[in-house]
């Protein structure tokens, strides 16, 4: 079944993204990793739209929305990161320690 | 699977496009000289020796444009399907489809006006 | 569904509340732009409040109607949605009221933006409450989330604020990704994103060998929603974000975001997966129920114990809100039919007490210029009425009788007992007792400690209004909850589980 | 080509496809070679001089010689550069420029692919080039290069918006993203007439996208030395140039397809002339126009550039969309849509 | 008297005082104090007139009011709707009537003793009056939930009073108070819920009716046994903390030492009795079977309390601690009385509640007066006070005598009755308990003699004797102590019938 390979790909991407979000120190990379996770979802959706149970075009529509929203989300993320960078001169997540753990 | 062929062609174009520079450089490597020395490998700064890396912070203005780009680029994600299906939808529900997109675009235009008023669009 | 019935045949007036908010937000942004850089932005907030009130009136007008679905069954109006919208709007109104009187240009440069972002976030929340489709749910969620990210980061010149915002973005986006990933499986297993069509599909998928994926999708979504409602073990963002955000935004997060996230939880889990719920109680109780039990218990325990050692009021309130999320999760673990009533009532009480408490905290922190809990020292001497009001809020949060917090908590507790979840009920009681320590720390500071100086701190009018509303609401819900109970029970909240007639 | 594409995939077919692609590549390389010459000639004529005349008759082999010279030139990479990125940047810039040519139909029979989202594909891939430019400018670790790259990126993304929005009018009219469908829809009336506003926006935006005068700020010789490819030399530099001229090819073809009716003759009675000729004529007209503009107009300032893009072209493009949609309702005009 | 809301009026009458106090300037000490004291007179008058109107010798509840308040609904696991009605139900019977009156009296006197309060009189009196609402409500409530609510009001008010107006370590004391009582009320809530679960109602009257049938029910449903037993133990713990019995007593010492005198008067005099009241009301009345089964255990707890309190009281150097430990000891007597399982024992217990209420109020009034003058309550530092302050010391002596059970005073009656009861059923415990009484004589005399007699230390030569404002309330308290001592019927008359009915239900 071809869908399983897509699913596996998506799962791997999702896990890589999650791993990156949790471990990476560079804030930009963290944002990339989030994007990776969201794109894993897109792969899933599109794969299901073609091969899923009751495949239909809804998956495509959903992924369009996902793309849009993810773009907005990451745009805001980077905007905040820039604001942060201008004050802190660093994109290292570990430097963000003003708020105590 | 009749559309596979089209994508195969696209893939061929891609591969070809990648192959061309590689081939060209490989040939070039055989032909061209290579005599690097320090001054040659310095970045060109109109004759002044560079004293720092050029990887600096650059104006945030660039990011503003990038953001605006994202907004309107994403808008087209919805505009294109709408435009393609316009005739079909119009015959069903009439001009409402236009109104709908009008609302959508209107909100984006508010965004543009916002950026305009906030002087984001001015390049200093 | 024929395409002819697509748009114009629907009763579009049901969207009136949302459209009102949308128009108000648009208007606010335009007005804000038209105003000069130096102008007082309160006017913008007043437009927002007017919009919220009008939207609220529309919502009240639609109470108690038959469920009605529009836009190809993606958007739905039922009493459940209305109740949540009312809660969201009430929270937004109070936050606007407070922020218009405390926000200073020196603190938040973009106040106009702050006000209408509150509205767009509320709009997102309303969409979540009203959606019957994964896509609309997701869009609503993100509208709320993205607006909140910015709200958190509006104090641009304060490092804490931007850091908090960044943390919130990262964790919020991650949780969105989890929710989406779960949604993608739900879609793949059923071929639809409509929650009501999913019901059967998921049951069928469950029975035809895809049980693992059905549960996987649910668990992924629950993890994501766990982030959004800040339940342990997915709570780590909450203290930082609550601390870093400007206090009105914190209030908004604590109240509106949370309420909306619970709406999301109910929509997805109870509506989408209700097939599993009905057909095989066993599965539900053993696997999913367990998940909720763990979430609820952990939230209560972690929230209440971690709050003990906080010295920053906002962080303390963050842990407190984690604990409150735990309490609200208890009905989900039990899954009694009283779920909607209990959750709605608790959230209603929660709106009043939390907004009130944060309004006071905001005022006190601003006057004392610190967020340390010691800023409350001697508040009683400075302004006895404020201290008395704060006492009411704290008692309510702690769950002392004659307050809305107590009635809400007891309602949940009682349902837990009736549902024979004695363990959860026990944890509720124990953690409530633990919570006395830190809630009463505020009381101690206010009443027992001497103030640094004897300055009188007068509440600004807007804050005072919010505090009065908070006190009245909290006490009224504590003394005379019966009216609300009756009203809630008369609403057809359980209809949320059934598709509307008009499809 | 159409039959070939509808056959099941076999090694033979694949070979044929490859051969076709190679042929097109060669054609394009030839075009680029002579486009450069043509440009220099046009510039010369406009400025009342001859242009290249020495190499070959009428300077025919001038560009060939240039290419050979580039091939044997030393390839220096600055010591401080980010080497992997420095090396890969020209490829990133070049690949999309050639890959988009695949979707352009030259006549109703001569096309290489016929995918439903051709226009989207074209527009999507074009925007990848900017990453190549950014990479190149960044990895050089040179102030001019970085500045040029940033400017270029800002400019390209700013003008991409009007570009893609101006096309929506065409899509509305044709009801398809497929290029062949779009051309077929211009059977009676080229879209340049009903979509004149869209055409103008498209033309301006495409010039800016091509980084050509009057929008050649990224490589403004007098200000930034050469913009993002200051540090590039030899054949690496050549690929940036190549990408630029391939884009001229692609963009001119696209303009032809979208607005000038592709292979359709201007009048039905001229239908006896093969479509390819019409196509080439229109295509060359556009190419000539581009060179003409370069010779005629001065470079504008960057603030003017950005203002034009965001404050004029973008609102106009959006207005064009709704105008087009509304014009569909007007009784007589609607037949052109 | 049905349909009349006298009890509600009585319970909330202190709020009238609050209302008036709000309008007084916070710096106006004299007026605040006067108003605070006056305000407590309203409930006092109310309580006394209620007592006068109380039909003695009549079984059951009087002055009953009942309004449906809140109904919580839930759906049970079987799909059956479960309703949890909370009624606003007030009433008094023979058990609560004396306690109500005692509360009113002690509060008034505590308000008088508030003359020792040094600051923030306005809020002090407001909270004191709110505390009074809670205390009155606790005894007047006829619904478990209402009881709980009033109980919590008491908790909050006491917390604030102790923490704000106490002595040096007031905050620790308040915290400990909160911790223990918070846990106590948590357990109480659980116990109440399970009582509701067992009986299906929260109203005392219905509960008592159903309690009789409980034994039969249990025989048909043996699996309920554990729940009922657990509930009973929870009740025991919840009120045991309040009482307090032995392992849970540390908070009370702290409070007694650190709290301001009027609050200690109320605390020791009234609040400890809430524990005892709860034990009798919910332990004895609702679970007669278990009380019978566990009587020995309760008795042992009582004896432990008596002896532990007495021994430790003996070794304390701080007068406050002596009295605090003696309170623990006396609470043991209440437990013994309950453990006796007969009318006499219970009579003893209730008598002890009231009598100890007055006695400890008096003692702490004295302590307050003493602290005001000397600034210390350490026995070694005191001595020979009688020379300079004879009246004060005379009152102390009298109170001490009452504590150790001198005939003619209330302490004697209560202890006598309690021991009489326990000797009837558990003689061994009785003997051990009496041992405690001997110790009581020892520590009390030691304390009294140590402070009042002996060589006068120089510092205390010029001690001022009691002012009238102090002497009058002390003498009033003493009067009540002697009144009960010589004319116990004043207490016994309303009580007896109620206790008889309780014991009858126990089958004893």
The pLDDT tens digits for C226-243 are 988 888 888 888 888 998
Q: How many residue contacts between B and D have a Cβ separation below 8 Å? A: 217
Grade residue B1 by pLDDT with cuts at 50, 70 and 90: very low
Hey, are the CB atoms on A82 and B77 less than 8 Å from each other? no
Distance (Å, whole) CA E405 – CA E441: 8
Cis peptide before D214 (omega within 30 of 0): yes
CB E477 within 8 A of CB E358: yes
Domains recognised in chain A with CATH numbers: 3-90 (1.10.287.3510)
Hey, are the CB atoms on C336 and E75 less than 8 Å from each other? yes
- Residue A50 touches partner C, C-beta closer than 8 Å: no
CB C76 within 8 A of CB C130: yes
- Based on the fold, state whether residues E269 and E299 are members of the same structural domain: no
- Residue E163 touches partner C, C-beta closer than 8 Å: yes
Hey, are the CB atoms on A73 and C166 less than 8 Å from each other? no
- Residue C425 touches partner E, C-beta closer than 8 Å: yes
Task: Please tell me which residue, C169 or D298, carries the higher pLDDT value.
Answer: C169
Give the DSSP H/E element, type plus range, for residue E72.
strand E62-75
Hey, are the CB atoms on A82 and B63 less than 8 Å from each other? yes
Among B117, B119, B121, most C C-beta atoms within 10 A, so best to mutate, is B117
Q: How many CB atoms lie within 10 A of CB D272?
A: 6
Q: What is the dihedral of CA E242, E245, E249, E255, to 10 degrees?
A: 40
Grade residue C2 by pLDDT with cuts at 50, 70 and 90: very low
Distance (Å, whole) CA A65 – CA E241: 60
Name the CA radius of gyration of chain C, rounded. 22
pTM comes to 0.87
pLDDT at D269: 80
**CA distances (Å), C430 to each of C434, E82, E184, in order?**
6, 24, 11
Tell me whether residue B123 is in a domain: no
> Each residue of C171-213: pLDDT tens digit?
999 999 999 999 998 888 888 888 888 888 888 888 788 888 8
Count of domains forming chain B: 1
**Which residue range(s) make up the domain with E270?**
1-286
Q: Select the residue of B57, B70, B77 nearest A75 (Cβ to Cβ).
A: B70
**Which residue range(s) make up the domain with B105?**
1-118
Among A18, A38, A73, most C C-beta atoms within 10 A, so best to mutate, is A73
- Residue D161 touches partner B, C-beta closer than 8 Å: yes
Count of domains forming chain C: 1
Tell me whether residue D165 is in a domain: yes
Hey, are the CB atoms on B92 and C30 less than 8 Å from each other? no
β E81-92/E62-75 pair status: antiparallel
Contacts of D157 in chain B (CB under 8 A): 65-66, 69, 73
Contacts of E153 in chain C (CB under 8 A): 401-402
The first and second tokens of residue E366, run together, are 């004295």
Give the DSSP H/E element, type plus range, for residue D79.
none
The predicted complex's ipTM stands at 0.83
- Based on the fold, state whether residues E173 and E306 are members of the same structural domain: no
Tell me whether residue C1 is in a domain: no
**CA distances (Å), E248 to each of C126, E252, E293, in order?**
51, 8, 23
Tell me whether residue C234 is in a domain: yes
What's the gap in Å between the CA of C410 and the closest CA on chain B? 45
Q: Select the residue of A44, A72, A76 nearest C188 (Cβ to Cβ).
A: A44
Half-sphere exposure of C25 (CA within 13 A, CB side): 23
Spell out the per-residue pLDDT of chain D, length 337, in tens: 667 777 777 788 888 888 888 888 899 888 888 888 888 888 888 888 888 888 878 888 888 888 888 888 877 788 778 888 888 888 998 999 999 988 888 888 888 888 888 888 998 898 888 888 888 888 887 777 787 788 888 888 888 889 989 998 888 888 888 888 888 888 878 888 888 899 999 999 998 888 887 887 766 666 666 677 777 877 888 888 888 889 999 999 999 988 888 888 888 788 788 888 888 999 999 999 988 888 888 888 878 888 888 888 999 998 998 888 888 777 777 666 6
Contacts of C165 in chain A (CB under 8 A): 80, 83
pLDDT at E1: 42
What's the gap in Å between the CA of B102 and the closest CA on chain D? 8
Count of domains forming chain E: 2
Contacts of B91 in chain C (CB under 8 A): none
Among A2, A42, A60, A68, most B C-beta atoms within 10 A, so best to mutate, is A68
CB C118 within 8 A of CB C379: no
The first and second tokens of residue D303, run together, are 């603030």
> Each residue of B63-119: pLDDT tens digit?
788 888 888 888 888 888 888 888 887 777 777 788 888 888 888 888 888 888 888
The first and second tokens of residue E303, run together, are 């004896």
Contacts of D25 in chain B (CB under 8 A): 16, 20
Hey, are the CB atoms on C169 and A48 less than 8 Å from each other? no
Half-sphere exposure of E460 (CA within 13 A, CB side): 28
Q: Select the residue of C407, C420, C489 nearest E73 (Cβ to Cβ).
A: C489
Tell me whether residue C418 is in a domain: yes
Q: Select the residue of C400, C432, C482 nearest E70 (Cβ to Cβ).
A: C482
- Residue B110 touches partner A, C-beta closer than 8 Å: no
CB E265 within 8 A of CB E129: no
Grade residue C282 by pLDDT with cuts at 50, 70 and 90: low
Hey, are the CB atoms on A86 and B60 less than 8 Å from each other? yes
Q: Select the residue of D6, D103, D154 nearest B65 (Cβ to Cβ).
A: D154
pLDDT at E76: 67
Q: What residue spans of A1-101 are helical by DSSP H? A: 2-23, 27-51, 58-88
Cis peptide before C233 (omega within 30 of 0): yes
Partners of chain B (3+ Cβ pairs below 8 A): A, C, D
Tell me whether residue B124 is in a domain: no
Among E21, E175, E186, most C C-beta atoms within 10 A, so best to mutate, is E186
Tell me whether residue C136 is in a domain: yes
Tell me whether residue D286 is in a domain: yes
Contacts of C337 in chain E (CB under 8 A): 75
Spell out the per-residue pLDDT of chain E, length 508, in tens: 445 688 888 889 999 888 988 888 878 888 888 888 888 999 999 999 988 888 877 777 888 888 888 888 777 666 677 788 888 888 888 888 888 999 999 999 888 888 888 878 888 899 999 999 999 999 999 888 899 999 989 988 999 898 888 888 888 888 888 888 888 888 888 888 888 878 888 888 888 888 777 777 777 777 777 888 888 888 888 888 888 887 888 888 888 888 888 899 898 888 888 988 988 888 888 888 788 888 888 889 899 999 999 999 888 888 888 999 998 998 888 988 888 888 888 888 988 998 999 999 999 888 888 888 888 888 888 877 888 888 888 888 888 888 888 888 888 888 888 888 888 888 888 888 888 888 888 888 888 888 888 777 767 777 777 788 888 888 888 998 998 888 888 888 888 888 888 887 776 4
**Which residue range(s) make up the domain with D155?**
75-334
Among C433, C451, C480, C486, most E C-beta atoms within 10 A, so best to mutate, is C433
Q: What residue spans of chain D are helical by DSSP H? A: 2-6, 11-46, 62-72, 83-99, 118-126, 129-139, 143-174, 179-184, 196-209, 221-224, 234-259, 275-296, 302-307, 314-327
Q: Select the residue of B31, B83, B116 nearest D311 (Cβ to Cβ).
A: B116
In chain D, the residue whose alpha carbon lies closest to the alpha carbon of B35 is D74
Grade residue C4 by pLDDT with cuts at 50, 70 and 90: very low
Distance (Å, whole) CA C94 – CA C100: 10
Q: Select the residue of B16, B38, B42 nearest D98 (Cβ to Cβ).
A: B16
- Residue A1 touches partner C, C-beta closer than 8 Å: no
Contacts of A98 in chain C (CB under 8 A): 159-160, 163, 244
- Based on the fold, state whether residues E193 and E277 are members of the same structural domain: yes
Contacts of D178 in chain B (CB under 8 A): none
Give the DSSP H/E element, type plus range, for residue E443.
helix E427-452
Tell me whether residue C435 is in a domain: yes
> Each residue of C399-413: pLDDT tens digit?
888 888 999 988 888
Count of domains forming chain D: 1
Q: Select the residue of C8, C26, C29 nearest B93 (Cβ to Cβ).
A: C8
Give the DSSP H/E element, type plus range, for residue E84.
strand E81-92
Distance (Å, whole) CA A22 – CA C324: 27
Q: Which distant-in-sequence residues (6+ apart) come within 8 Å of A51 by Cβ? A: A1, A2, A3, A6
Give the domain CATH number at B101.
1.20.58.1610
Q: Select the residue of C395, C413, C436 nearest E182 (Cβ to Cβ).
A: C436
Tell me whether residue D114 is in a domain: yes
Contacts of A45 in chain C (CB under 8 A): 184, 187-188
Grade residue C471 by pLDDT with cuts at 50, 70 and 90: very high
Residue C345's φ and ψ, nearest 5 degrees, are: -65, -45
pLDDT at E198: 82
**Which residue range(s) make up the domain with C96?**
12-497
Hey, are the CB atoms on A87 and C159 less than 8 Å from each other? yes
Question: Nearest Cα to E132, choosing from E269, E309, E255, E334?
Answer: E269
Q: How many CB atoms lie within 10 A of CB B85?
A: 12
pLDDT at C1: 40
Exposure b/e, E118-132, CB count within 10 A at least 16 = b: eebbbbbbbbbbbbb
């Amino acid at each position: 079944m071809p869908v399983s390979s897509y699913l596996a790909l998506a799962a791997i991407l999702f896990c890589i993204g999650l791993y990156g979000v949790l471990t990476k120190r560079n804030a930009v990379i963290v944002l990339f990793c989030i994007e990776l996770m969201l794109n894993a979802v897109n792969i899933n959706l599109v794969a299901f739209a073609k091969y899923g149970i009751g495949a239909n075009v809804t998956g495509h529509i959903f992924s369009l929305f996902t793309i849009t929203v993810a773009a907005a989300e990451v745009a805001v993320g980077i905007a905040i990161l820039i604001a942060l960078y201008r004050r802190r001169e660093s994109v290292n997540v570990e430097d963000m320690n003003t708020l105590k753990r | 699977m009749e559309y596979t062929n089209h994508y195969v062609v696209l893939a061929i174009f891609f591969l070809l496009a990648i192959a061309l520079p590689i081939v060209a450089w490989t040939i070039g490597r055989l032909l061209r000289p290579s005599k690097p020395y320090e001054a040659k490998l310095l970045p060109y700064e109109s004759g002044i020796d560079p004293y720092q890396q050029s990887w600096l912070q650059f104006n945030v203005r660039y990011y503003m444009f990038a953001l605006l780009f994202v907004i309107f680029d994403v808008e087209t994600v919805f505009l294109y399907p709408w435009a393609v299906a316009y005739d079909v939808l119009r015959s069903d529900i009439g001009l409402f489809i236009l109104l709908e997109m009008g609302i959508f675009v209107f909100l984006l235009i508010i965004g543009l006006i916002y950026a305009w008023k906030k002087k984001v669009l001015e390049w200093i | 569904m024929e395409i002819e019935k697509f748009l114009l045949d629907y009763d579009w007036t049901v969207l009136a509340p949302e459209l009102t908010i949308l128009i108000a937000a648009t208007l606010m942004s335009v007005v804000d732009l038209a105003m000069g850089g130096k102008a007082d932005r309160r006017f913008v907030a007043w437009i927002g409040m007017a919009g919220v009130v009008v939207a609220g009136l529309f919502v009240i007008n639609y109470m108690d109607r038959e469920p009605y679905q529009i836009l190809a069954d993606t958007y739905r109006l039922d009493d459940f949605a209305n109740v949540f919208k009312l809660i969201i709007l009430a929270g937004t109104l109070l936050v606007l009221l407070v922020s218009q009187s405390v926000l200073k240009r020196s603190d938040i440069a973009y106040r106009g933006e702050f006000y209408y972002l509150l509205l767009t976030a509320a709009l997102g929340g309303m969409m979540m409450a009203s959606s019957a489709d994964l896509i609309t749910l997701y869009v609503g969620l993100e509208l709320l989330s993205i607006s909140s990210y910015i709200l958190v980061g509006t104090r641009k010149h304060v490092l804490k604020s931007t850091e908090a915002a960044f943390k919130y973005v990262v964790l919020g986006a991650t949780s969105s990704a989890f929710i989406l990933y779960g949604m993608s499986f739900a879609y793949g297993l059923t071929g639809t994103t409509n929650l009501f069509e999913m019901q059967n599909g998921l049951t069928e998928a469950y029975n035809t060998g895809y049980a693992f994926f059905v549960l996987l999708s649910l668990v992924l979504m629950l993890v994501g929603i766990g982030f959004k409602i800040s339940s342990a073990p997915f709570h780590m963002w909450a203290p930082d974000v609550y601390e870093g955000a400007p206090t009105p935004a914190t209030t908004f997060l604590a109240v509106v975001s949370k309420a909306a996230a619970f709406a999301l939880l109910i929509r997805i889990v109870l509506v989408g997966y209700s097939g599993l719920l009905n057909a095989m109680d066993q599965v539900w109780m053993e696997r999913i129920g367990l998940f909720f039990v763990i979430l609820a218990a952990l939230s209560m325990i972690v929230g209440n114990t971690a709050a003990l050692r906080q010295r920053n009021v906002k962080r303390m309130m963050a842990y407190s809100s984690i604990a409150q999320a735990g309490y609200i999760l208890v009905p989900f673990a039990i899954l009694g039919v009283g779920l909607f009533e209990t959750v709605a009532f608790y959230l209603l009480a929660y709106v009043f007490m939390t907004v009130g408490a944060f309004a006071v905290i905001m005022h006190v922190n601003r006057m004392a210029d610190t967020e340390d809990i010691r800023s409350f020292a001697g508040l009683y001497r400075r302004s006895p009425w404020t201290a008395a009001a704060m006492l009411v809020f704290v008692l309510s949060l702690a769950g002392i009788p004659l307050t809305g917090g107590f009635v809400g908590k007891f309602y949940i507790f009682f349902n837990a007992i009736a549902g024979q979840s004695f363990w959860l009920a026990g944890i509720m009681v124990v953690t409530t007792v633990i919570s006395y320590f830190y809630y009463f720390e505020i009381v101690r500071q206010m009443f027992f400690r001497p103030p640094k100086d004897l300055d009188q701190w007068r509440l600004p009018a807007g804050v005072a209004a919010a505090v009065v509303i908070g006190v009245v609401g909290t006490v009224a819900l504590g003394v005379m909850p019966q009216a609300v109970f009756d009203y809630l029970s008369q609403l057809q909240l359980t209809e949320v589980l059934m598709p509307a007639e008009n499809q | 080509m159409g039959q070939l594409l509808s056959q099941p995939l076999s090694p033979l077919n694949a070979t044929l496809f490859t051969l076709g692609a190679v042929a097109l590549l060669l054609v394009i390389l030839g075009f680029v070679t002579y486009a450069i010459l043509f440009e220099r000639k046009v510039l010369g004529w406009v400025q009342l001089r001859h242009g290249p005349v020495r190499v070959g008759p009428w300077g025919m082999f001038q560009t060939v010689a240039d290419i050979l010279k580039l091939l044997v030139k030393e390839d220096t990479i600055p010591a401080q550069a980010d080497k992997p990125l420095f090396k890969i940047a020209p490829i990133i810039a070049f690949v999309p420029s050639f890959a988009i040519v695949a979707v352009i139909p030259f006549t109703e029979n001569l096309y290489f692919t016929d995918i439903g989202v051709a226009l989207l594909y074209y527009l999507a891939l074009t925007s990848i080039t900017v990453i190549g430019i950014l990479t190149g400018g960044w990895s050089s670790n040179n102030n001019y290069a970085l500045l040029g790259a940033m400017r270029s990126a800002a400019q390209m993304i700013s003008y991409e918006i009007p570009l893609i929005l101006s096309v929506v009018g065409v899509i509305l009219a044709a009801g398809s993203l497929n290029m062949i469908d779009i051309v077929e829809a211009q059977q009676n009336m080229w879209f340049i007439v009903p979509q004149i506003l869209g055409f103008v926006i498209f033309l301006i935006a495409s010039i800016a996208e091509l980084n050509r005068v009057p929008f050649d700020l990224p490589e403004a010789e007098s200000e930034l030395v050469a913009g993002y490819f200051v540090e590039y030399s030899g054949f690496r530099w050549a690929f940036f140039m190549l990408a630029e001229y391939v884009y001229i090819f692609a963009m001119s073809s696209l303009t032809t397809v979208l607005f000038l009716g592709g292979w359709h003759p201007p009048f039905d009675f001229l239908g006896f002339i093969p479509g390819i000729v019409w196509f080439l004529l229109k295509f060359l007209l556009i190419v000539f126009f581009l060179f003409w503009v370069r010779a005629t107009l001065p470079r504008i300032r960057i603030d003017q550039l950005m203002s034009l893009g965001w404050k004029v072209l973008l609102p106009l493009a959006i207005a064009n969309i709704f105008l087009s949609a509304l014009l569909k309702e007007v009784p007589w005009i609607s037949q052109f849509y | 008297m049905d349909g009349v809301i006298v009890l509600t009026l009585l319970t909330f009458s202190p709020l009238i005082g609050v209302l008036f106090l709000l309008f007084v300037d916070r710096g106006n000490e004299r007026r605040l104090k006067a108003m605070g004291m006056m305000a407590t007179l309203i409930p006092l008058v109310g309580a006394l007139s209620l007592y006068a109107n109380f039909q003695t010798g009549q079984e059951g509840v009087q002055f009953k009011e009942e309004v449906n308040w809140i109904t919580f609904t839930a759906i049970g696991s079987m799909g059956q709707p479960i309703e949890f009605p909370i009624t606003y139900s007030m009433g008094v019977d023979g058990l609560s009537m004396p306690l109500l009156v005692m509360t009113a009296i002690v509060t008034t006197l505590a308000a008088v003793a508030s003359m020792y309060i040094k600051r923030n009189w306005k809020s002090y009196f407001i909270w004191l009056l709110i505390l009074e609402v809670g205390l009155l409500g606790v005894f007047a409530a006829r619904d478990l939930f209402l009881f709980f609510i009033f109980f919590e009001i008491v908790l909050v008010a006491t917390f604030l009073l102790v923490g704000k107006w106490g002595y040096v370590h007031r905050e620790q004391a308040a915290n400990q108070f909160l911790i223990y009582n918070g846990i106590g009320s948590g357990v109480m809530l659980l116990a109440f819920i399970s009582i509701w679960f067992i009986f299906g109602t929260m109203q005392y009257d219905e509960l008592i009716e159903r309690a009789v049938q409980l034994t039969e029910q249990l025989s048909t449903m043996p699996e309920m046994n554990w729940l009922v037993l657990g509930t009973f133990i929870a009740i025991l713990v919840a009120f045991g903390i309040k009482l307090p019995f032995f392992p849970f007593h540390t908070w009370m010492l702290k409070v007694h030492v650190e709290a301001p005198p009027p609050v200690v008067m109320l605390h020791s005099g009234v609040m400890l009795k809430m524990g005892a009241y709860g034990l009798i009301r919910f332990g004895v009345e609702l679970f007669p079977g278990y009380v019978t089964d566990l009587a020995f255990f309760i008795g042992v707890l009582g004896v432990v309390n008596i002896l532990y309190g007495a021994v430790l009281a003996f070794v304390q150097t701080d007068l406050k601690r002596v009295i605090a430990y003696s309170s623990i000891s006396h609470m043991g007597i209440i437990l013994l009385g309950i453990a006796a399982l007969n009318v006499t024992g219970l009579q003893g217990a209730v008598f002890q509640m009231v009598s100890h209420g007055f006695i400890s109020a008096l003692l702490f009034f004295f302590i307050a007066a003493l602290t005001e003058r000397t600034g210390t309550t350490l026995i070694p530092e005191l001595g020979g006070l009688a020379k300079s302050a004879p009246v004060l010391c005379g009152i102390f002596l009298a109170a001490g005598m009452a504590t150790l059970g001198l005939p003619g005073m209330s302490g004697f009656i209560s202890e006598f009755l309690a021991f009489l009861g326990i000797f009837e059923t558990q003689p061994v415990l009785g003997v051990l308990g009496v041992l405690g009484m001997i110790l009581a004589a020892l520590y009390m005399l030691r304390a009294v003699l140590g402070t009042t007699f002996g060589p006068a230390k120089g510092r205390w030569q010029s001690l001022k004797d009691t002012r009238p404002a102090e002497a009058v309330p002390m003498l009033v308290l003493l009067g009540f102590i002697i009144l009960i001592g010589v004319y116990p019927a004043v207490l016994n008359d309303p009580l007896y019938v109620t206790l008889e009915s309780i014991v009858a239900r126990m089958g004893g």
